[in-house]
Structure 1
């Protein structure tokens, strides 16, 4: 019974933080404060009440519409809230130490915020990365990896690898993507960030090819890359060791 209560608490914590991450991801790129003005409907500007702000459940209760003007509430809000709740709980359940739990929470938090920002503005604000960068440094000082140089090597590998690809592709990889991968490398280390990057590239290429074949994406149409980074990094974080073991077994 105690375990169920803990699981529910972790999940609800993720829901609440996911709601906050929506605010951060939408307001920071626009140069707005995350504190003022209070949450309000973007259509009728009515200030939202507690009934409107319960993560996921308010969206379902209100039928995905504003209570006053009945304008549609973007699906990204409950999606980010639910995803953060599920990923927080997954991080907790898969971890074997407090270090792994906190690492998962930090990774998910960064990824959810930049996902909102990239989907809305196709932008990864430096302010968000500069906020998480010292947090990741502090985390790696408190919980040094084994070997100790894995964290700075992960940062360097992420930055150098993507910078080279960006130069070769002549801007095909955005500067925000480069900095994001480098910061993630500081948290996860060399192997996870490289695996995550190649998975991101694979998923991005597959979706791009399929989208063009189905005429859903035009040639050279800009496509947000962060969703693929999020997918690749999460798979690497949760299943990276299994993927490496599978690959080795496949070869040998």
Structure 2
């Protein structure tokens, strides 16, 4: 039974991932995503339902437009597949609990931001403002920590990024700062600081690799949002385990026992 439910959540995620692609690609350019029909960006032909089946249409049409044969961006199946996987992970991690709502909201917000930041290097304010009240309601229904922890978790990371922006003269964007503010409210201070550390570490490793492969040039702008998203997902799903491991590494169990003896 659980396997069938997991499959349902994966398909559910594929469908929502397709919608998140539309929102992430249209919102930054102020294009209506609720009424406008989907079209090929190259030939402007209106797409039919057979062109819009998540992942399958991309595979069947061999990543090409059915009408003009132009290449279809891999961002579409990537967004759909990752959303499907993360919806499934959310269910397997939390089951049918109230925290599942929070998990699905986090994944949804992050996937829209991922598409938008990869394409336009923009984290839309409208996305953050839309999800923040939903996170507030979810926090009321299933508090992950105290309201004080949420406020401190939002203000301190927000202030840290603001200082980095001022000192580096734009080394990070205001969108990253606002995103960390929202994440701090959801995750609390400890997990948000872990997110910041992980995103910087992952960003440094990936950017160094891209520079080595000559894919990225020195001083070439690149979106930091994807690294924040990866760090957030790791912190949210496995942050407690990582923090416990780190504390035990600094203060081994034998040492803790002797201190309390």
Question: TM-score, structure 2 length as denominator?
Answer: 0.91
Partner of 1:190: 189
Stretch of structure 1 that moved more, 83-92 or 241-250: 241-250
Partner of 2:94: 95
Partner of 2:41: 42
Partner of 2:149: 150
| Equivalent pair of 1:158/1:182 in contact (CA under 8 Å) | yes
Describe the shift of the 1:163–1:54 C-alpha distance in structure 2 as closer, same or farther (beyond 3 A). same
Partner of 1:235: 234
Partner of 1:122: 121
Deviation string 1:138-194 (CA, Å, 9 cap, x unpaired) is: 221222333332222221122112112222222111000000111111112211111
Task: Flag structure 2 segments of 5+ consecutive residues without an equivalent.
Answer: 252-261
For the residues of structure 2 that align with 1:220 and 1:97, how far apart are their CA atoms?
A: 46
Stretch of structure 1 that moved more, 14-23 or 183-192: 183-192
- Structure 1 residues 105-184: aligned runs within 5 Å: 105-184=104-183
Question: TM-score, structure 1 length as denominator?
Answer: 0.94
1:129, distance to aligned residue in structure 2 (A): 1.2
1:97, distance to aligned residue in structure 2 (A): 6.0
For the residues of structure 2 that align with 1:36 and 1:147, how far apart are their CA atoms?
A: 40
**Coordinate RMSD, CA, aligned:** 1.5
| Equivalent pair of 1:140/1:151 in contact (CA under 8 Å) | no
- Structure 1 residues 57-76: aligned runs within 5 Å: 57-76=56-75
Stretch of structure 1 that moved more, 50-59 or 142-151: 142-151
**Pair 1:33-2:32 in alignment:** yes
Task: Flag structure 1 segments of 5+ consecutive residues without an equivalent.
Answer: none
Stretch of structure 1 that moved more, 130-139 or 222-231: 130-139
Report the 3-state secondary structure (helix = DSSP H, G, I; strand = E; otherwise coil) of the residue aligned with 2:147. Answer: coil
Report the 3-state secondary structure (helix = DSSP H, G, I; strand = E; otherwise coil) of the residue aligned with 1:232. Answer: helix
Q: Which has the larger radius of gyration?
A: 2
Runs of 4+ off more than 6 Å? none
For the residues of structure 2 that align with 1:51 and 1:169, how far apart are their CA atoms?
A: 48
| Equivalent pair of 2:145/2:188 in contact (CA under 8 Å) | no
1:216, distance to aligned residue in structure 2 (A): 2.7
